Amino acid sequence: MINPSQLERRKTFAIISHPDAGKTTLTEKFLLFGGAIQTAGAVKSNKIKKSATSDFMEIERQRGISVATSVMVFDYKGFRINLLDTPGHKDFAEDTYRTLTAVDSVILVIDCVKGVEEQTERLMQVCRMRNTPVIIFVNKMDREGKDPFDLLDELEEKLKIKVRPLSWPIGIGATFKGVYDLFREELMVFNPNKTTIEKEVTRIKNLDDPALEEKVGNQLAKQLREDVELIQGVYEPFTADQYREAHLAPVFFGSAINNFGVQELLENFISIAPTPGSRPTQQREVSPLEPKFSGFVFKIHANLDPRHRDRIAFVRVCSGKFERNAVYKHVRLSKNLRFAAPFSFMAQEKNVLEDAWPGDVVGLYDTGNFKIGDTLTEGEDLMFQGIPNFSPEIFREVINTDPLKTKQLDKGIMQLTDEGVAQLFILSGGHRKVIGTVGELQFDVIQYRLQHEYGASCRFSPMPIQKACWITAEKQSDLQEFMKFRAQQIAQDKDGMPVFLAESEWVLRMVMEKNPGIQFHFTSEFKMQAASAT
Ligand code: G4P
C-alpha cells in the first residue's frame, strides 16, 4: 500500500463554465491564493476570440497557451492541488468532456446575470454521467443579476441536481454589500478590489447582532435575516457525504474579478472535495492505495514546435507511484515503455518530475504510441473505463485533393483522431471517410494541421447528417437485419463498431421508435460496459 498521506493531501479538479462566466478569472485568483502566480493578469485568457473563429494562427496560438496551462499545480495549506484546465470554446467541448474523466470533482461557475446557459447544462450532463461531485460558484454578484432564490430554483431545475447555499449574498449589483457565510456565521463585507487578495471579515455573534445594521444598513440586514430564515426552513442541513456522492451541489456566491468570495470557496473546497478515489477498469476496481502504478491517457496535445513532431500525452495517475525511468506496460500495444523525461507543471512551468502519486497528472513525450484512453501499468492488463467519445454533431466527408499524398493524409487523419481532435467514421467498406466533430472550428484545425504536419491536403464536403449513434442489440440477428435494411445510413467507427447516421433528430426518433430491439447509444461508454461484461 502507498502512504495514505499522499492521497489525503491531493485534490484534482476542473473549473468549468459557459464561456465568459468567469472561469479564467477564478482560475487566476486560485493561483494567486496558492502562490503559483504573483500578479493578476498572468493567466492568459484560454479562449479564442469570437471575432477570429477561422484564424488558423489564432487556433495555434490558443493551443500553445492551453498546453502551458493544461494542468496547474499549486500547494495550499498543505494540500497539493491539481487544477485541470478545460477549453472555454464550445467547439472544443469534447476536449473538456474528456478532461472531466481525469478529475475527482469540479467547480461550476455561473454568471448571476445569465444564469444557467447552454454549455453549463451540457457540462453538468457529463458530470452527472460520471457522478462527479460539483460545487457551484455564482459569479459576478457586483452586477445586477437574477434574484438568488430564483437562481437556486433555476439551478435545480436545469442542472437536475439538488442544491444547498452555503453562503448568501447581501444585496446585488449596485447594492451588493457582501456575503454571509451560513456555516461559520461570518459576514464578509464587499470591498471591490481587483488586484490584492485582502478582505474584510466581520464576525457577528448571531444574526441579531447590531453590527449587521452597521455594516449593511437596516433594509439589507432585515432582508438577510428573512432570507436566512427561509433558507433554513426550505433546505436540509448540508452534509459533505451527500455532496461527495454527487447528490447535492453546495452553492457559493461572489465576484471573482474583485477577489470576493474566492478564498472562502477555496477553503471550503479543500475541506469537502474528495481525494482521489477508486476507479473502475474493464477487469476490476483499482484502489489508489495499491502499491503498483496505473494510469490512463486523457488528453493528447500536438507539439507546437514544427521541428518536433512529437506529442504530449497527459496521464492521470490512478494508483501507486509513478517513477521516472521505470518501465511501464502500454496495455493496448502490449509494449514496455520507459520515460526519461516525464514532466509536471509547477507554477506554470514544465519541470521534469521524479515521481507522481494518484491524482497527479504526468506529461509524457510521445512519438505516436498513445491514443486517448490508453492505460499504463506495471504489467497487469487493465483498461480504465469511462473515457468516452461523444456523439458528434457536424459531419463532413474527407475529399483528398492531392492523390500523391494519400498515405500522408490517411496517417494524419488516423493520428489526429487518436488525439481526439475529431472522430472518424468509415462508410462503404472503407472507401469513404467521414469526420464528425462537435464544432466547426475542428475542421479548420484538421485541415491546417494535415497540411502543416503531414504535407497532405483535403477539402471537406458537407454531409446531410445531424446525429451519429452507436448501435447494439441483444440479438445479433436483429442488429444484422437492421444494418442490412439501413445500409446507406450505417458506418463504422475506428474500432469497427457500427454507427447509425441520422439525417435529423426527427428521423432518429422515428427509427428508434420503429426498432425497439436496437439500442442507440449517444456516447461510446457502453463499449466499455460491453467489454467488461464479457
Ligand atoms: P471565461 O474564462 O469563463 O470565458 O471568463 P473570463 O474569466 O474570461 O471572464 C469573462 C469576462 O467577465 C471578463 O471580462 C472578466 O473580466 C469578467 N468577469 C469575471 N468575473 C467577474 C466578476 O466577478 N464581476 C464582473 N463584473 N465581471 C467579471 P472581459 O471584458 O470579457 O475581459 P477582460 O478584458 O476583463 O479580460
Q: Does residue 28 surpass a pLDDT of 50?
A: yes
Q: Residue with the nearest Cα to atom 25 of ligand 1?
A: 140
CATH number belonging to domain 394-533: 3.30.70.3280
Pick the atom of ligand 1 nearest to 27's CA. Answer: 7
What integer pLDDT is reported at residue 284 of this predicted model? 93
What are the CB-based long-range contacts (under 8 Å, 24+) for 183-187? 183/238, 183/268, 187/211, 187/212, 187/215, 187/216
* Partners of 518 in beta bridges: 473
> If you average pLDDT over residues 252-268, what whole number do you get?
90
Q: Does residue 312 surpass a pLDDT of 90?
A: no
Q: Does residue 49 surpass a pLDDT of 50?
A: no
Query: Which region holds residue 210: left if phi is over 0, alpha if psi is between -120 and 50, else beta?
Result: alpha
Residue 319: pLDDT band by 50, 70, 90 thresholds?
very high
191 by DSSP, 3-state: which?
coil
Pick the atom of ligand 1 nearest to 143's CA. Answer: 26
CATH 3.30.70.3280 location in the chain: 394-533
Residue 192: pLDDT band by 50, 70, 90 thresholds?
low
> If you average pLDDT over residues 443-461, what whole number do you get?
89
Q: Residue with the nearest Cα to atom 1 of ligand 1?
A: 20
> If you average pLDDT over residues 14-35, what whole number do you get?
88
- Is pLDDT larger for residue 494 or for residue 148? 148
CA torsion angle 406 409 411 412 (round to 10): 170
CA torsion angle 182 184 186 188 (round to 10): -80
467 by DSSP, 3-state: which?
strand
Residue 24: pLDDT band by 50, 70, 90 thresholds?
confident
Pick the atom of ligand 1 nearest to 25's CA. Answer: 7
Question: Model confidence over 497-532: pLDDT tens digits?
Answer: 899 999 998 999 999 999 999 999 887 765 545 444
What integer pLDDT is reported at residue 527 of this predicted model? 56
Topology given in CATH for the domain delimited by 279-377: Rossmann fold (3.40.50)
Residue in 107, 109, 257, 258 to alter for ligand 1 test, most ligand atoms within 8 A of Cβ: 257
Question: Model confidence over 347-369: pLDDT tens digits?
Answer: 556 788 899 999 999 999 888 88
What integer pLDDT is reported at residue 114 of this predicted model? 95
54: which 3 cell numbers? 477561422
What integer pLDDT is reported at residue 162 of this predicted model? 94
41 by DSSP, 3-state: which?
coil
Compute and round to an integer the Cα radius of gyration of the chain.
Answer: 25
What integer pLDDT is reported at residue 52 of this predicted model? 38
What integer pLDDT is reported at residue 98 of this predicted model? 85
What integer pLDDT is reported at residue 63 of this predicted model? 55
What's the chain's average pLDDT? 85
What integer pLDDT is reported at residue 309 of this predicted model? 64
Return d(Cα 212, Cα 224) in angstroms, integer. 9
Distance 224 CA to ligand 1 centre (A): 28
Question: Model confidence over 467-494: pLDDT tens digits?
Answer: 888 999 999 999 999 999 998 899 999 8
488: which 3 cell numbers? 446507406
Strands 458-462 and 394-400: antiparallel
Closest listed residue to residue 398, CA positions, set 333, 442, 350: 442
Burial of 292 (0-12, 13-18, 19+ CB in 10 A): middle
Strands across the sheet containing 178-181: 167-170, 178-181, 186-189, 200-203
Residue 50's φ and ψ, nearest 5 degrees, are -60, -30
Question: Model confidence over 422-436: pLDDT tens digits?
Answer: 899 998 777 899 999
CATH 3.40.50.300 location in the chain: 4-272, 279-377
- CA distances 390 to 122, 125, 176, 435, 465, Å, are 12, 12, 41, 13, 15
Q: Residue with the nearest Cα to atom 15 of ligand 1?
A: 22
Query: Do the Cβ atoms of 246 and 127 come closer than 8 Å?
Result: yes
> If you average pLDDT over residues 385-395, what whole number do you get?
76
Cβ atoms within 10 A of the Cβ of 505, count? 10
> If you average pLDDT over residues 373-400, what whole number do you get?
87
Closest listed residue to residue 94, CA positions, set 389, 467, 495, 443: 389
Q: Does residue 303 surpass a pLDDT of 70?
A: no
Ligand 1 cavity residues, CB under 6 Å: 17, 19-25, 45, 47, 88, 139-140, 142-143, 255-258
- Is pLDDT larger for residue 383 or for residue 391? 383
Question: Model confidence over 57-115: pLDDT tens digits?
Answer: 555 555 555 555 578 888 999 999 999 988 766 667 777 888 899 999 999 999 999 99
In 256-375, alpha helices (H): 262-272
What integer pLDDT is reported at residue 11 of this predicted model? 97
What integer pLDDT is reported at residue 59 of this predicted model? 59
Residue 54: pLDDT band by 50, 70, 90 thresholds?
very low
Return d(Cα 8, Cα 275) in angstroms, integer. 6
Burial of 278 (0-12, 13-18, 19+ CB in 10 A): middle
DSSP string over 241-280: HHHHTTSEEEEEE-BGGGTBSHHHHHHHHHHHSPPP--EE
What integer pLDDT is reported at residue 533 of this predicted model? 41
509 by DSSP, 3-state: which?
helix
List the end-to-end C-alpha distance of the chain, in Å, as a whole number.
30
What integer pLDDT is reported at residue 212 of this predicted model? 85
> If you average pLDDT over residues 437-466, what whole number do you get?
88
What integer pLDDT is reported at residue 70 of this predicted model? 77
Distance 135 CA to ligand 1 centre (A): 20
Domain covering 4-272 assigned CATH 3.40.50.300 in the classification? yes
Closest listed residue to residue 33, CA positions, set 375, 298, 293, 264: 264
Burial of 507 (0-12, 13-18, 19+ CB in 10 A): middle
Pick the atom of ligand 1 nearest to 254's CA. Answer: 23
Q: For residue 479, which amino acid is it?
A: L
Distance 129 CA to ligand 1 centre (A): 29
- Is pLDDT larger for residue 406 or for residue 205? 406
